[in-house]
Each structure stands twice: as C-alpha cells, then as structure tokens.
C-alpha cells in the first residue's frame, strides 16, 4: 500500500475511534430527557443539556463529513486533500466533544452529589480533554510537509473497496448504538406523556435509523453474496452508493429525535423545532451540499 493510501486508511480508522464515543453520548442525551430525575434538574441544567446535545450532534456531523467527501468528491481515491480535510474536521470535532463530555458529567453528578461537585468535575473533565487533545498534541507537533502537497494517484480498486467498507464501519456502530437507545425510550413511562406528534416523530426517527443501518450493512452483504468477496469497480460503485445514501435517513433520524428530546427538555415545541432544524441544516450541508459543491468545482475529476 502506497504512503497516501496508508495515511487515508489510518485517518479513517481514527475517525471510527471518535465516532462511536460521540454516538454513545448522543444516545445518552436522547434517553436523559425521558428519565424520572430529568424534571428535577432545573431550568439552567435543561439549557446546558440542550447546548450539550447540539454540540454532540455537530461533532458527529464533522466526524462523518470526511467520509462523504471521500465518497462524493474523490470517488474513493486517495489524495492529499482528503487527508488534510479529515485532519481539520476531526480536530474541529474534538471541541464540541470535549464540551459535551464535561457538560454531561456536570449534569449527572450535580443531580446526585450537588451543583458544586458537578460543575467542578465537569469543568475539570472538559479542561483535561482540551489539554490532552489540543494542548499536548500541539506542543509535540512537528513541522511537516503539507498533506495537500501529496500527489493524487489512481488508487487501486482493492484499496478503494477497503476504504469504502471502512467508511461504512465509521457510521454503522454509532447508528446501531443510537437504534438501541431509541428502542429503549419507547419503554419509558415518560414517553407515554409525550404529545402524539412527538410520538409519531420518534417512530419516524426509529425507522430512519433502521433504514440507515440496513443501507450500511448492504455493501458487506453484496460483497459476500453477489461478488464472492471479489473487489470490482461495479461493487465499489454500488457500495459507495449505499454509504452515501445511508446519511440521508441518518440525518433525518438524528434531527427528528433532537426535536423530540429538546422539545420535552425545554417544554417548547417551537424551540425544539428551531434547534433541530438548525442542526439538520448543518448535517445536510456537511454531508451532502459541501461535497457536491466541491465535486462540482472539480469537473475534470470523474468517478469510476
């Protein structure tokens, strides 16, 4: 495997490492609003919960964006541009992840051990994350040749298929974890108190995430059943289509449940709709609009 191919693979693997933790935090937010103790937290904590929920949703959007650019803009080929973009978006995503991690710790610990303990430990966790993720990393960073200077190459089909399947694995574990949280919410007593519209919207979100999981698992099924594990250009196109299509119901499911949870947390359908709509636009822009715009700006680079 050539150097640029290896760097792309490592970047995707590291994104997989980050995305699962982000999706688990998203699932916690989805469940938290339906727990009996949530109503006892108080208005200030509800606002912090909302901010943390939005932050983790944006973090997820940033972490998935490089995979969509790799599929839509680069057509699965390795390039210095996709390495640099993955580095930038992953580094940016760590900021909302650090905030959400600390905020969530503050919320749950304040509920059990008091506001001072919760705020102190939450702030310490965020600070520690920022120090290790940014401060220490920047302190030891070495000058290096820019990733954008790496020449683009005609990436072998075996490598492109491996990257495509890796990108499916970037999305799949988090979607599966979120699906489990969504089903658990249906069994809570608080769910029965929701307005009928929120109940229907959560059911729609559940179906959207199920559809996303089905799409993400399809490349592996096609590879085994239809192609006997053989890597071909046709399979690469089909698998890439499944991965790209999967983010549409994923974004719809995340946005819908964001509305349900925030509308319940703040007792305001209007605020829930405004926040969820804004996050939905961010996800759609990162995953679909921006890659298509970038691809349109490179008319000479056709897909296989």
pLDDT in tens, 286-300: 999 999 998 888 755
Q: d(Cα 38, Cα 111) in Å, to the nearest integer?
A: 9
SS3 127: helix
Residue 301 lies in a domain: no
Per residue in 193-223, pLDDT tens?
899 999 999 999 999 999 999 998 888 888 8
pLDDT in tens, 91-118: 899 899 999 999 999 998 998 889 999 9
pLDDT value at residue 172: 83
Of 10-14, 70-74, 252-256, which range is least confident? 10-14
Domain containing 55 equals 3-296
Find tokens 């829930």 and name the residue: 272
For range 45-70, the mean pLDDT: 92
Instruction: State how far the Cα of 261 lies from the Cα of 30, in Å rounded to an integer.
Output: 6
pLDDT attached to residue 304: 42
Q: Can you give the pLDDT at residue 299?
A: 57
Query: What is the tens place of the pLDDT at every residue in 16-29?
Result: 778 877 888 888 88
pLDDT at 144 exceeding the cut of 60: no
Q: What pLDDT sits at residue 2?
A: 63
In a domain, 45, yes or no: yes
Q: Is there a domain that residue 271 lies in?
A: yes
Cβ within 8 Å of residue 292, ≥6 positions away: 72
Quote the tokens at residue 246: 């999967």
Domain count, the chain: 1
The answer to whether position 62 is within a domain reads yes
Q: Does 133 have pLDDT greater than 90?
A: no
* SS3 category, 140: coil
Is residue 238 in a domain?
yes
Please say if the pLDDT value at position 275 is more than 90: yes
- Whole-number percent of the chain with pLDDT over 90: 37
Is pLDDT above 90 for 47?
yes
Domain-embedded: residue 302: no
- The stretch 168-179 carries a mean pLDDT of 81
The answer as to whether 193 is a domain residue is yes
Considering the domain boundaries, does residue 87 fall inside one? yes
Assess contact for 74 and 82: CB atoms under 8 A.
yes
CA dist 254 and 153 (Å) reads 36
The Cα diameter of the chain in Å comes to 60
pLDDT digits 0-9 by tens, 145-167:
544 555 555 678 888 888 888 88
Distance CA 153, CA 5 (A): 9
| 302 pLDDT tier (thresholds 50, 70, 90) | very low
Report the pLDDT value the prediction gives residue 119, as an integer from 0 to 100. Answer: 94
Distance CA 22, CA 97 (A): 7
Confidence at residue 252, expressed as pLDDT on a 0 to 100 scale: 95
């Amino acid at each position: 495997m050539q150097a640029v191919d290896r760097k792309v693979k490592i970047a995707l693997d590291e994104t997989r490492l980050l995305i699962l933790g982000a999706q688990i935090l998203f699932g916690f937010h989805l469940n938290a609003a339906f727990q009996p103790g949530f109503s006892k937290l108080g208005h200030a904590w509800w606002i912090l919960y909302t901010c943390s929920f939005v932050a983790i949703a944006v973090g997820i959007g940033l972490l998935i964006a490089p995979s969509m650019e790799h599929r839509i803009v680069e057509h699965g080929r390795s390039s210095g541009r996709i390495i640099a973009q993955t580095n930038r978006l992953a580094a940016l995503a760590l900021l909302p992840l650090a905030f959400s991690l600390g905020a969530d710790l503050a919320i749950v610990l304040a509920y059990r051990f008091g506001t001072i303990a919760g705020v102190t430990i939450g702030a310490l966790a965020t600070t520690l994350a920022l120090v290790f993720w940014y401060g220490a990393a920047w302190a030891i960073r070495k000058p290096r040749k820019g990733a954008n200077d790496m020449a683009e190459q005609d990436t072998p089909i075996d490598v492109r298929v491996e990257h495509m399947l890796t990108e499916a694995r970037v999305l799949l574990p988090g979607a599966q974890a979120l699906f489990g949280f969504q089903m658990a919410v249906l069994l809570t007593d608080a769910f029965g108190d929701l307005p009928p519209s929120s109940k229907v919207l959560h059911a729609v979100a559940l179906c959207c995430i199920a559809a996303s999981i089905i799409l993400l698992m399809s490349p592996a099924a096609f590879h085994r059943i239809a192609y006997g594990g053989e890597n071909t250009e046709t399979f690469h196109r089909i698998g890439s289509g499944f991965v790209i299509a999967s983010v549409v119901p994923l974004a719809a499911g995340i946005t819908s449940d964001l509305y349900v949870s925030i509308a319940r947390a703040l007792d305001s359908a209007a605020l829930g709709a405004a926040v969820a709509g804004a996050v939905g636009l961010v996800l759609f822009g990162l995953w679909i609009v921006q890659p298509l715009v970038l691809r349109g700006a490179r008319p000479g680079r056709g897909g296989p």
